[in-house]
């Protein structure tokens, strides 16, 4: 159920202040140390950020998709690594459980996920299955009252801290593609689960991805999420939703960068006047603002449609495609408007330029969003 408008505005205001006062001052430190300070994680827990999307009966805030997107826009106004701290609990790490979990599974896991005590990860990508995510080769062999998991997942966000993985594995090797895949809730402490060291990456320092290996892991049959053979559908429903959240974050980052550009352009003087007076600079600001507004409108409209019960596979893919490409262009213009300063680390603009690159890759690359958009459009006849 939606929050009343006062409570919603209060929540958004609280998050905006938390971002401005607590997170923004730490951006450079987090980039340098590759770690979000524990005290900040504790404050995030206190604010309820780990449970934004978890139903209130399990201790979360139970936001609607539109409300979650409005909060995500605010969270986008700082380094994306901060959001990643609780991003998997809010999105891909919890939503399979929220949408397909049994009452027992939900009661067991969701309270810890909502409070942030339990960190969750979503483990779909594997060396052989990236964009072709239905080509899951991680094996789950039924054996008495358990499934035995063998295989490897790569680039798994928050795996170093996760206590619970949602893992997509093939239960029926006789069926190729999506049909033979099931989803499992796999606690990290089961024998045979091992997590590699965090990868070194282009940006978003402070957010970690690791390889997770399953070596003869006996997962109780009661940990299967949804019916056998339905795991790929679970994953796709989770991603449909996650794409809207990511779109909203892209909008927030774009709004942050536009504000930084406006402030810089007013202050920086060349040829005897602020560079904001030059219409070629204004053109870049206008392009960025227009695109950010368009992405926001598309994202929020699609979120409202989802809240109304509509299928948003097309809208979610379109929003993610447009918003992630948009923020790439906005970050590029931000470097340009800042001139040499845009390339120098101390100003933080080049860091955002690197950070936003990921949005076009994970939760489905831009090309995969295009494939989905075209497929859904042709299915609907236009
Ligand atoms: C930092 C980070 C965090 C991540 N977090 C997670 C996570 O938490 N959980 C998880 O499961 N995964 C995660 N991923 C994995 C991510 O979702 C995949 O990297 C992504 O889906 C692309 O898969 P791939 O890397 O195998 O690239 P590939 O699929 O090999 O793609 C390579 C190129 O080929 C293109 N391509 C592939 N197929 C087609 C096609 N049919 N048509 C047109 N072009 C195509 C792609 O668009 C891309 O340009 C993460 C990745 C990164 C980098």
Q: SS3 for the chain, per residue?
A: CCCCHHHHHHHHHHHHHHHHHHHHHHHHHHHHHCCCCHHHHHHHHHHCHHHCCCCHHHCCCCCCHHHHHHHHHHHCCCCHHHHHHHHHHHCCCCHHHHHHCCHHHHHHHHHHHHHCCCCEEEECCECCECCCCCCCCCEEEEECCEEEEEEEEEEEECCCCCCEEEEEEECCCCCCHHHHEEEEEEECCCCCEEECCCCCCCCCCCCCEEEEEEEEEEEEHHHEECCCCCHHHHHHHHHHHHHHHHHHHHHHHHHHHHHHHHHHHHHCEECCEEHHHCHHHHHHHHHHHHHHHHHHHHHHHHHHHHHCCCCCHHHHHHHHHHHHHHHHHHHHHHHHHCCHHHHCHHHCHHHHHHHHHHHHCCCCCHHHHHHHHHHHHHHCCC
Alpha-carbon distance of 89 to 92, in angstroms, equals 7
Nearest CA to ligand 1 atom 20: 362
Nearest CA to ligand 1 atom 4: 155
Sign of CA pseudo-dihedral 129, 132, 137, 143: positive
Alpha-carbon distance of 130 to 151, in angstroms, equals 14
CA of 20 to the centre of ligand 1 (A): 32
CA of 156 to the centre of ligand 1 (A): 12
The pLDDT, as a whole number, for residue 194 is 98
Alpha-carbon distance of 169 to 141, in angstroms, equals 9
Alpha-carbon distance of 72 to 201, in angstroms, equals 23
Q: 347 in ligand 1 pocket by Cβ < 6 Å?
A: no
Q: Which of 130, 320, 358 maximizes ligand 1 atoms within 8 Å of its Cβ, making it the mutation to test the pocket?
A: 130
Q: Which of 131, 164, 169, 238 maximizes ligand 1 atoms within 8 Å of its Cβ, making it the mutation to test the pocket?
A: 131
Q: 123 in ligand 1 pocket by Cβ < 6 Å?
A: yes
Q: 357 in ligand 1 pocket by Cβ < 6 Å?
A: no
Of 261, 269, 270, 253, which Cα lies nearest the Cα of 354? 253
Q: 359 in ligand 1 pocket by Cβ < 6 Å?
A: no
363 is an active site residue = yes
Q: Give the ligand 1 atom nearest the CA of 199.
A: 1
Q: 293 in ligand 1 pocket by Cβ < 6 Å?
A: no
Indicate yes or no: pTM above 0.75: yes
CA of 366 to the centre of ligand 1 (A): 9
Nearest CA to ligand 1 atom 44: 367
CA of 125 to the centre of ligand 1 (A): 8
281, 337 Cβ separation under 8 angstroms: yes
Active-site hit among 74, 230, 255, 363 = 363
| Helix axis angle, 5-18 to 38-47, nearest 10° | 170
| Residue-level pLDDT, tens digit, the chain, 382 residues | 788 999 999 999 999 999 999 999 999 999 999 999 999 999 999 999 999 999 999 999 999 999 999 999 999 999 999 999 999 999 999 999 999 999 999 999 999 999 999 999 999 999 999 999 999 999 999 999 999 999 999 999 999 999 999 999 999 999 989 999 999 999 999 999 999 999 999 999 999 999 999 999 999 999 999 999 999 999 999 999 999 999 999 999 999 999 999 999 999 999 999 999 999 999 999 999 999 999 999 999 999 999 999 999 999 999 999 999 999 999 999 999 999 999 999 999 999 999 999 999 999 999 999 999 999 999 999 9
CA of 45 to the centre of ligand 1 (A): 30
The pLDDT, as a whole number, for residue 2 is 83
Of 288, 308, 306, which Cα lies nearest the Cα of 298? 306
Q: 198 in ligand 1 pocket by Cβ < 6 Å?
A: no
The pLDDT, as a whole number, for residue 96 is 96
Nearest CA to ligand 1 atom 2: 155
The pLDDT, as a whole number, for residue 3 is 87
Q: Give the ligand 1 atom nearest the CA of 204.
A: 1
Alpha-carbon distance of 310 to 297, in angstroms, equals 17
Q: Which of 361, 364, 371 maximizes ligand 1 atoms within 8 Å of its Cβ, making it the mutation to test the pocket?
A: 361
Q: Give the ligand 1 atom nearest the CA of 130.
A: 26
């Amino acid at each position: 159920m939606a929050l009343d408008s006062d409570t919603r505005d209060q929540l958004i205001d609280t998050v905006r202040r938390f971002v401005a006062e607590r997170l923004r001052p730490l951006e450079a430190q987090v980039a340098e140390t590759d770690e979000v300070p524990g005290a900040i994680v504790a404050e995030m827990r206190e604010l309820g950020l780990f449970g934004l999307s978890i139903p209130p009966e399990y201790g979360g805030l139970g936001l609607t998709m539109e409300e979650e997107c409005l909060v995500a826009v605010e969270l986008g106004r700082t380094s994306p690594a901060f959001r990643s701290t609780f991003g998997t609990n809010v999105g891909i790490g919890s939503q399979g459980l929220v949408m397909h979990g049994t009452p027992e599974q939900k009661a067991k896991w969701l309270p810890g996920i909502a409070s942030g005590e339990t960190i969750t990860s979503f483990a779909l990508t594997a060396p052989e299955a990236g964009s072709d995510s239905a080509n899951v080769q991680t094996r789950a062999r039924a054996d008495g009252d358990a499934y035995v998991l063998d295989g490897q997942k790569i680039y798994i966000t928050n795996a170093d801290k996760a206590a619970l993985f949602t893992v997509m594995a093939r239960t029926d090797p006789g069926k190729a593609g999506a049909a033979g895949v099931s989803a499992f809730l796999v606690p990290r402490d089961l024998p045979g689960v091992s997590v590699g060291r965090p990868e070194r990456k282009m940006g978003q320092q402070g957010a970690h991805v690791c390889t997770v290996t399953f070596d003869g892991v006996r997962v109780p049959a009661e940990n299967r999420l949804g019916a056998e053979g339905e795991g790929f559908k679970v994953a796709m429903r989770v991603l449909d939703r996650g794409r809207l959240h990511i779109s909203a974050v892209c909008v927030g980052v774009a709004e942050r960068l536009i504000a930084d550009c406006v402030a810089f352009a007013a202050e920086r003087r060349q040829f005897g006047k602020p560079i904001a007076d030059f219409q070629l600079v204004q053109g870049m600001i206008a392009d960025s603002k227009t695109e950010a507004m368009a992405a926001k409108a598309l994202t929020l409209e699609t979120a409202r449609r989802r809240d109304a019960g509509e299928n948003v596979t097309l809208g979610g893919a379109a929003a993610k495609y447009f918003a992630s490409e948009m923020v790439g262009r906005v970050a590029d213009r931000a470097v340009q408007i800042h001139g040499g300063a845009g390339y120098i680390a101390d100003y933080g603009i080049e860091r955002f330029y690197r950070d936003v690159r990921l949005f076009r890759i994970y939760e489905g690359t831009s090309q995969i969003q295009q494939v989905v958009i075209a497929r859904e459009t042709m299915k609907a006849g236009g």
